[in-house]
Amino acid sequence: MTRAQPSKSLELRAPLPLDCGQTLEGVTIAYETYGELAADRGNAILVCHALTGDQYLASTHPVTGKPGWWDRMVGPGKPIDTRRFHVLCANVIGSCMGSTGPASSAPDGRAYAMRFPVITIRDMVRGLVALLDVLGIERLHAVVGGSMGGMQALSLAANFPDRAARVLAIATTARHSAQNIAFHEVGRQAIMADPNWSGGDYYGSGAAPDAGLSVARMAAHITYLSEAGLTEKFGRRLQDREAKTFGFDADFQVESYLRYQGSGFTQRFDANSYLYITRAMDYFDIAEGHGGKLADAFAGSNARFCLVSFDSDWLYPTAESRHVVHALNAAGAGVSFVELSAPYGHDSFLLDVPALDRVVKGFLE
Amino acid sequence: MSPPKKLLRPDLAVIARHVAPGTRALDIGCGDGELMAALQARGCDARGMEIDPELVERCVSRGLSVVQGDADRDLADYPDKAFDYAILSQTLQTAARPDRMLDELLRVGRQAFVSFPNFAHWRMRAALALRGRMPVTRHLPVSWYETQNIHHVTVADFRELVRAMGVTVEREWFFSRESAIGGAAANLRAEYAVFELSR
């Protein structure tokens, strides 16, 4: 894994309290900003990133050299218009792009590795809110996120109801389902089964559990796509060959694609971060602290909500968004919801879906 | 936020005029949000439900709070008396069970406004009586095999239904050729009707 140099980062003065009961000292939050903050600090939009995302929302990724992960959505004249809004995106704690995570140094100078406390989505949000406190942003114009970013947006609305006027949660859920947890467990077991993982103490050994992390990414990547999308993109086509080889090389294009996705991922992501962040997602259940009543979690909110799902997303299907909408209705919150038609599965929120652009732009007005 | 001002459809105009300012209203089958925008202009907290995702998208991009949903199924998501008014304009005749829909309206709303095309208007009667054909008119412009109107209803049928359900008609309005007409012989003369209901 290559460590990137984020353009901005700050160290929180106060220790960060965590759901597990521990506190995290000397937390660094790495973040990027786009557009000017208005004098009244009222035009800030916080965009929360997904599991393997980072703060490079609309700027070139320092490791891959690729455009920001939501470059199509954020920028001058784009749906999240940086001529109007001050857009922030911070790397979540537990991750590996500059914010404190398992690869960071513990107070004893060695990497935390598995000594890093197990964190939750709410802990990530605590880190983000601490960042807003330092930046003097009292109330966001909006908090926006897709997938795990949407979980953070909902968590912020539930736990810090005064901090955002609008909440836009895309292709997400208020709780991880058994199926969601199951897929994550496959990924974690792949990492931990890699001999290079060494109980998490691989930093500085020169050998990271890349094979395990790669398999984890391959399995997860399938869940981000749709069956129809995979069929259209690859079908049963063979990879650079005329016939099957009767071996275990990547005969099929879809195999080659997944291997490429897996190995590319290991260049930019830390295996332990993958363990911690997937765990945080699995622990996510907003209603848990409210006797199972999701509506009660949003009782204190006066924000406007917008939820968007995609008809081909089987990872966080429409029913999950409807569940949140139901709760918000019961809580009397102002909520909009639309299921958009897009062929790309869960990844639709990152891809070219013009209807999403219109909804995002319209909701943020 | 709203497009250039255009005239509200007469049934919507009547509803907009009679929803008390500052109240909470749910517009079921809200289309592109025309009525909701008018209600918000009156200081109401207007919410919408619409089945067509493209119309929902248009509403959201106008800044309106609209949930994509099927009224036959998704009204159940709202708590009792969540709204001062539940509004169902030109949609009753598309419901799987109009009687249950009325029950739901008066469960989620303290009061309800319902508008519908009157299938006993004399033009309808004439089409059936003289031509022996299902009517295709200005207000019911779609042929029988492709219309969403699966439960055609007349003013007299509606009155009978609400009476049987123990629902009170607070006020009623009738329209022909986009103008209000009196209640006399409404079942023959009205192209469509608006009822304000309570229970």
- B4: pLDDT strictly greater than 70: no
Following CA atoms A361, A363, B4, B10 in sequence, which dihedral angle do they give, to the nearest 10 degrees? 140
The answer as to whether A2 is a domain residue is no
Q: Are residues A136 and A25 in the same domain?
A: yes
Q: Which residues of B4-25 are buried (b: 16+ CB within 10 A; e: fewer)?
A: eeeebbbbbbbbbeebeeebbb
Tell me how far apart the alpha carbons of residues A339 and A190 are, in angstroms, rounded to a whole number: 34
Last residue in a domain, options A246, A278, A310: A278
- Reported as a single tens digit per residue, the pLDDT across B11-28 is 999 999 999 999 999 999
Tell me the three state secondary structure of residue A32: strand
What is the pTM assigned to this prediction?
Answer: 0.93
A323 catalytic, yes or no?
Answer: no
User: What ranges make up the beta strands (E) of B9-81?
Assistant: 24-28, 45-50, 65-68
Whose tokens are 């629902």? That residue is B167
Spatial separation of the C-alpha atoms in residues B59 and A359, rounded to whole Å:
9
**Do residue A34 and residue A153 come from a single domain?**
yes
Q: How far apart are the first and last CA of chain B?
A: 35
Interstrand relation of B24-28 and A28-34 (parallel, antiparallel or unpaired) = unpaired
DSSP string, A172-220: --SB--HHHHHHHHHHHHHHHHSGGGGGG--TTSS---HHHHHHHHHHH
- State whether A159 and A294 are in the same domain: yes
Q: Are residues A126 and A19 in the same domain?
A: yes
- Give a yes or no: residue A68 inside a domain: yes
Q: Tell me if residue A311 is catalytic.
A: no
Coil, strand or helix: which one is B45?
strand
CA A312 to chain centre: 19
3-state SS, residue B178: coil
CB contact under 8 A, A338 and B79: no
Here the CATH number for the domain that contains residue A242 is 1.10.1740.110
Is A165 exposed, middle or buried, given 0-12, 13-18 or 19+ CB atoms closer than 10 A?
A: middle
Percent helix, strand and coil across chain B, each to the nearest 5 = 35, 25, 40
Residue B62 has pLDDT above 90, yes or no: no
Q: Are A57 and A68 spatial neighbours (Cβ–Cβ below 8 Å)?
A: yes
Same domain, A162 and A188: no
Does residue A144 share a domain with residue A215? no
Is the same domain home to A46 and A172? yes
Q: Are A119 and A94 in contact (CB under 8 A)?
A: yes
Q: Which chain B residues are within 8 Å of A329, Cβ to Cβ? A: 67, 77-79, 82
Q: Which domains does chain B have, with CATH numbers?
A: 10-119+151-198 (3.40.50.150)
**A160 and A297 fall within a common domain:** yes
Q: List chain B residues with CB under 8 Å of A339.
A: 53, 68
- The total number of structural domains in chain A stands at 2
Task: Tell me the chain A residues in contact with residue B62 when contact means C-beta distances shorter than 8 Å.
Answer: 362
Residues A142, A14, single domain; the answer is yes
Rg (CA), chain A: 20
- Across the interface, whether the CB atoms of A362 and B60 are under 8 A apart is answered yes
Give the pLDDT confidence of B115-158 residue by residue, as tens digits. Answer: 999 999 999 999 999 999 998 888 788 999 999 999 999 999 99
Are the beta carbons of A338 and B69 separated by less than 8 Å? no
Which of B26, B50, B67, B70 to probe the A interface (max A CBs under 10 A)?
Answer: B67
The answer to whether residue A252 is domain-embedded is yes
Least CA distance to B57: which residue of chain A? A359
Whether residue A205 lies inside any domain: the answer is: yes
- Name the pairing type of β-strands B83-89 and B24-28: parallel
The angle that helices A148-159 and A271-282 make with each other, rounded to 10 degrees, is 50
> Catalytic one among A147, A226, A273, A312?
A147
Nearest to A60 by CA among A104, A16, A4: A4
Of A325, A355, A363, the CB nearest to B67: A325
A220 lies in which domain range? 180-278
In a shared domain, residues A303 and A315: yes
Task: Note the pLDDT of residue A5.
Answer: 47
- Measured between CA atoms, how close is A341 to chain B, in angstroms? 9
Query: Inter-chain contact A365–B61, Cβ cutoff 8 Å?
Result: yes
Spatial neighbors of A227 by CB under 8 A, at least 6 apart, are none
Question: Has residue B3 got a pLDDT over 60?
Answer: no
Domain boundary among A278, A293, A320: A278
Q: Which two tokens stand for residue A89?
A: 């995106």
- Residues A212 and A190: their CA atoms lie apart, in Å, by 5
Residue A248 neighbours by CB under 8 Å, 6+ apart: none
Q: Is A346 a catalytic residue?
A: yes
Mutate to test the interface with B, among A329, A335, A358, A359 (most CBs of B within 10 A): A329
Q: Cβ–Cβ of A338/B53 closer than 8 Å?
A: yes
Closest C-alpha among B68, B75, B83 to residue B22: B83
Torsion angle in degrees (nearest 10) through CA of A267, A271, A275, A276: -80
| Phi, psi angles (nearest 5°) of residue A91 | -65, 130
Do A218 and A256 belong to one domain?
A: yes
Contact A97, A103 (CB under 8 A): no
Buried b (16+ CB within 10 A) or exposed e, A311-323: bbbbbbbbebbbb
What are the φ/ψ torsions at residue A275 (nearest 5 degrees)?
-60, -50
Given pLDDT bands bounded at 50, 70 and 90, which one contains residue B169? Answer: very high
Does residue B163 register a pLDDT over 90?
A: yes
Does residue A61 form part of some domain? yes
* pLDDT for res A173: 98
> What pLDDT, on the 0 to 100 scale, is given for residue B178?
87
Chain B residue with minimum CA distance to A334: B65
Note down pLDDT in tens along chain A; length 365 residues.
Answer: 334 445 799 999 999 999 999 999 999 999 999 999 999 999 999 999 999 999 999 999 999 999 999 999 999 999 999 999 999 999 999 999 999 999 999 999 999 999 999 999 999 999 999 999 999 999 999 999 999 999 999 999 999 999 999 999 999 999 999 999 999 999 999 999 999 999 999 999 999 999 999 999 999 999 999 999 999 999 999 999 999 999 999 999 999 999 999 999 999 999 999 999 999 999 999 999 999 999 999 998 999 999 999 999 999 999 999 999 999 999 989 999 999 999 999 999 999 999 999 999 999 98
Number of neighbours of residue A139 by Cβ within 10 angstroms = 13
| A112 and A34 in a common domain | yes
Q: Which of A247, A262, A278 is the last residue of a domain?
A: A278
- What is the model's pLDDT at position B6? 67
**Integer Cα distance of A193 and B185 in angstroms:** 82
Q: Is residue A1 part of a domain?
A: no
Whole-number Å distance between alpha carbons of B10 and B174: 10
Strand partners, A33: A88
ipTM over 0.90: no
Query: Does residue A195 fall inside a structural domain?
Result: yes
Q: Which two tokens mark A231?
A: 């069929």
Please, which residues 35-74 of chain B have a Cβ atom closer than 8 Å to chain A?
Answer: 45, 47, 53-54, 56-57, 59-69, 74
> What CATH number does the domain containing A63 carry?
3.40.50.1820
Nearest to A80 by CA among A168, A185, A201: A168
Interface of A with B (CB under 8 A): 304, 306, 322, 325-326, 329-330, 332, 334-341, 355, 358-359, 361-363, 365
Cβ-contact A362, B63 below 8 angstroms? yes
SS3 A144: strand
CA angle A294, A300, A303 (to 5 degrees): 95
pLDDT at B1 over 60: no
Q: What is the pLDDT of residue B61?
A: 86
Is residue A238 in a domain?
A: yes
B107, B71 contact by CB (below 8 A): no
Q: What are phi and psi of A58, to 5 degrees?
A: -140, 25
